[in-house]
Amino acid sequence: MSQVMDFDSLRQAMADNYQQPEGPARNARAEQLLAEAEKLGIPLAVIEALGHQLQVYNYSSEKDKMFVPFARLLRMWDERPEDFDEYEAHSLHWVFKWMSAGMLGQPHVPLASIEKWLGEMEHRYRLAGYSERAVRSAEFNIAAHVGDLERAERAYAAWLAADRDAMADCHACELHDQGWWQSRKGEDERALQLWRPVLEGEHVCAHEPHAALASSLLPLLRLGRLDEARAHHLRGLRLVRDMESMRSSYADHVEFCALTGNEARGLELLAERPAYFTDSGEPRSKLNFLAVVALLMDRLVERGLGDQVVPGPAGREWTARELAVHARGEALALAARFDARNGTPYVGERTRERMDRRPLVDRLPLGVRATRPAPVAPPPPPAPRAEERDLADLLAEARRLADALDPAAMDAWTAVARAAQGGELDPRDQADLVDHEAMSRGPEGVELFERAAELYLAAGDPGEALAARARAAFVRSLTGRPEEALETVTALRAEALALYEAGGTGLGQTASVLVGRARVLMNRLHEEGGDAGAAEEAARELLAFAGPHTADVRLASRAAEARAMLGELALHAGDPRTGAELLARAAEEYVAAGLPWFAVEYEARLAGVARQLGDAESAERAARAALEHGQGHLEPIGQAQLHLQVAEVLAASGRFPEAAGHALEAAHWADEAGEGPTLGAWARHQLGGFLLRQGRFAEAAEVLESALPDLTAETHGDGAIVQTQWWLGDCHTQLGEHRDAAERWLRAAEIARHWPDQRDHAMLAHLAAEALGRADLPAEADRAYARAGDLWRELGNTPGLVRALRARAWLAAGGEAGLAAGRELMAEAARECSAAADDAADDDARARLITELGHTHRQFGDLVARSVGDDADEEAMHAAFEEALTHLAEAIAAFAYLGAGALGSRTAAELAAGWLEADLGRPDEAAARARAVLAAYEDAGDDAETAEARKAEAERLLGVAAARQDG
């Protein structure tokens, strides 16, 4: 037979339950606790348990359950108001507002009943002496819901005009609702102004800024403030993700994804909350959710993803097309129920408007990982046959682009190949077509280059035939046949030069052979047997041949490439400055020739070399130039790499906001390239670190958490994993999530414990211990501090060891072990400090250790003094304070030894001792210590804020001492 709770235990159980996550389990526990309250036979216990039930129902998906306990509470109030204490009487009137909003969200409750309830609320508030502010706010919500906009405006004005009193919603909630109304009217700037104190943390509550962040997304998008919208999505989603009662705010985040090209992210959000499809306790929030589900599904269908399997109501598999129809139908059916109840078409109109919204941004990278769905599209129709005239035009365009070395030439030749299917081309056209197809094949192009050479010979162009064969040789050198390639290209060089001397070919074809030979030799540099001298000779020959003829774009390209080769050779020889100069000049020559896309590779290389040389300015300039010159020409993976390079260059000079922007782009382009788990994960890792350094902790945590699943020791190194967990621990700490912080740091420590250098292991164990202490887990914190202390001892890091011992002393003194254990740990810390200071290798090390010794004695004194409870007798208090004074005296001596650098610490210890002297009934000694502090700051150059605070405290101590002397 279970034991009946007493009233105090019941209250503690209700408090514990309220701290649990929102949802049915918390609600069921509240129902059990009401049953326990009824067993006590104490009316106030039942009242408090009913109030607890109301709270948990209101903040859950079962809002429809809260009307029954409220009706019972109201009946109890009407029958015996004396059973309610002041707090419960206030709470009863407070939840009148919840009833009004709750009825509005239930379409089966008649509008007349809601209006009657509003009158009842107004009457009872007037009787209780409350202002009309909460009543007019409730009236505004009713009018806005049914679409009576004139009444809504009148009620809104009356709401703001009425006095704020104990029944008014908190500032944060009121500002949210006011901003929502302005946004509804299209006054987005005004809405954001109203929300600003909430968004910036000036006014907060259990559900704010959660709701304001969600509501701000659409206004920010409409205003084009995309960076803020992204930040609010990342911050806000983190806040509402685990709060069951915030389905409407969650829906705002899904809508944001649908309107910004982030459909994949939207699908992941739906998958995280399957119950939102079916929870029926609050129909209004269900309507909001289903409307944005329909919007998201329509976007997927438009993108050719109608057959994509998507998350939906449990019990079957859904495609986007099927869920679009289902969600729209369910949303409109719910809207119709509200409109039937309200007698207006307003809810249905608003629902249709929301479902039919068009995207506001084509692409807004979020920086977080999202699995991109694969489009399911019909096969492309066969290409139409081109007329002969069309083929001639295509050939002319392809040749024009090829002569200009435009990257679009490859696509142009592909168009020629399609148009020429089944037709006849003359040998020269056929040769050019095969040659460009070979270029597009990469390592598989050797045979096609040889075929192109045959066609060039047939067309009477032996020089171009030699060039095609040189291209084939270079491909061979890349595919494991370097010796054969070198032998071939050496022979081709001799033939080409002889042919050129005889007038049988031109500059361009001969330069093509020379560049082929130089490329083969450069490719061999990093292989055994590579000849740097031969490569340099080939590059200089190419430069001498092409350099005088840079008016021809092809020859200008060859000369620039030769210069870049010489730069790479200088780097290979260990001369980075010369290498950087040559690479920079090569890039400039490409740009001057109108070929900026060829400069990209060398500018990116130059940025890396400049960083190694410590030339941050040149590194940034080169990286930005590479990004600029690559626009419109680079593949997604190239875009990702360049953005990441720019980000790293900017971060090295501390410009983290701009670095974050480029890391964000890098993550996006890596995802586009299908490299999300590799380069994308690294970019997200970097982005999270940049956001952390800006103090944007919630955003950083979202990004880092999305990076972590893809980071692997094999691809990214275990250091990246440890750093990500470390940063996440920092984020959790700043967000007040101390248990999560400890878990992150312990996971990182588990990896770092295998590293040869154990400093990171020790620091992570220490950080985890601090977090466990802040999470009110003293036993776990003590174990972590002990582990950290052992590691610090092994490393010979006495300050770290001493800090761990001091922390353990405080935990022990405040726990079951008691003051004796705390005293022993603090004494051990002091002994470690003293011994290490005696053996210090230099004055700086000794000063650091004496500083720690001073802090140890200061904390020792505080520990002993604070051990005196309010119920301690005078003798025990006197003994503890005397003991504390001895430690404070040691602290003062240590800080005095350190001189002016420790003045602030010395005077703080002096004042602490002075207060103890006063408490021991020794006003003369207390006054002397106060005067010593004032004297210390007469000529001191310590920071003004500390000095003023110390002097002010010393004056207060003097006043207390004087009063006690007079007494």
pLDDT one-digit tens code per residue, 28-73: 999 999 999 999 999 999 999 999 999 999 888 888 898 999 999 9
Residue 384: what pLDDT? 46
Does residue 291 contact residue 354 with C-beta atoms inside 8 Å? Answer: yes
Above 70 in pLDDT, residue 716?
yes
Rounded CA-CA distance 258/300 in Å is 9
For the residues of 877-906, what is the DSSP string, one character each? Answer: HHHHHHHHHHHHHHHHHHHHHHGGGGHHHH
Above 50 in pLDDT, residue 387?
no
Question: Confidence band (pLDDT; 50, 70, 90) for 299?
Answer: very high
Mean pLDDT of 139-159: 96
Average pLDDT, the chain: 92
Above 70 in pLDDT, residue 909?
yes
DSSP H helical segments within 310-423, as ranges? 320-342, 346-355, 388-403, 409-419
Mean pLDDT of 640-644: 94
Residue 3: what pLDDT? 67
Sequence-separated (6 or more) residues with CB below 8 Å from residue 150? none
Rounded CA-CA distance 26/676 in Å is 39
Measured in whole angstroms, the distance separating CA 598 from the mean position of its chain's CA atoms is 35
DSSP state of 185: T
Does residue 105 contact residue 122 with C-beta atoms inside 8 Å? Answer: no
Residue 817: what pLDDT? 86
DSSP state of 6: P
pLDDT one-digit tens code per residue, 329-364: 999 999 999 999 999 999 999 999 999 999 999 989
DSSP state of 373: P
Residue 382: what pLDDT? 45
Residue 816: what pLDDT? 86
Q: What are phi and psi of 650, to 5 degrees?
A: -65, -40
Q: What are phi and psi of 318, to 5 degrees?
A: -120, 140
Q: How many helices and strands in the chain, by DSSP H and E? A: 47, 2
Rounded CA-CA distance 947/944 in Å is 5
pTM value?
Answer: 0.86
Helix 532-546 vs helix 553-572: crossing angle, to nearest 10: 150
Rounded CA-CA distance 813/629 in Å is 65
Rounded CA-CA distance 18/25 in Å is 11
Q: Which amino acid is at 768?
A: A
Question: Confidence band (pLDDT; 50, 70, 90) for 378?
Answer: very low
Mean pLDDT of 204-217: 95
End-to-end CA distance of the chain: 62
The full 3-state SS of 726-781, as one line of letters, equals HHHHHHHHHCCCHHHHHHHHHHHHHHHCCCCCCHHHHHHHHHHHHHHHHCCCHHHH
Sign of torsion, CA 248 251 255 256?
A: positive
Which among 149, 135, 125 has a CA at the least distance from the CA of 101? Answer: 135
Residue 538: what pLDDT? 96
Question: Confidence band (pLDDT; 50, 70, 90) for 2?
Answer: low
Q: What are phi and psi of 500, to 5 degrees?
A: -65, -45
| Exposure string over 359-398, b if 16+ CB within 10 A, otherwise e | bbeeebbbbbbbeebeeeeeeeeeeeebeeeebeebbebb
Q: How many CB atoms lie within 10 A of CB 563?
A: 24
Query: Is the N-terminal amide bond of 209 cis, ω within 30° of 0?
Result: yes
Above 60 in pLDDT, residue 273?
yes
pLDDT one-digit tens code per residue, 752-762: 999 999 999 99
Rounded CA-CA distance 369/667 in Å is 8
Sign of torsion, CA 754 760 761 762?
A: positive
Question: Confidence band (pLDDT; 50, 70, 90) for 376?
Answer: very low
Q: What angle do CA 295, 298, 303 make, to 5 degrees?
A: 130
pLDDT one-digit tens code per residue, 826-873: 999 999 999 999 988 899 999 999 999 999 999 999 999 998 877 778
Residue 372: what pLDDT? 58
Rounded CA-CA distance 55/66 in Å is 8
Contacts 24+ apart (CB under 8 A), 189-192: 189/223, 191/215, 191/216, 191/219, 192/216, 192/219, 192/220, 192/223
Above 70 in pLDDT, residue 296?
yes
- CA 637 vs CA 369, 405, 606, 673, 678: distances in Å: 16, 22, 19, 5, 11
Which among 338, 318, 335 has a CA at the least distance from the CA of 326? Answer: 318
DSSP H helical segments within 503-655, as ranges? 507-523, 532-546, 553-572, 576-592, 596-612, 616-630, 636-652
Above 50 in pLDDT, residue 907?
yes
Residue 43: what pLDDT? 94
- Choice between 381 and 133, residue whose per-residue pLDDT is larger: 133
Residue 941: what pLDDT? 57
Tokens 């036979």 appear where?
41
Question: Confidence band (pLDDT; 50, 70, 90) for 479?
Answer: confident
Above 50 in pLDDT, residue 704?
yes
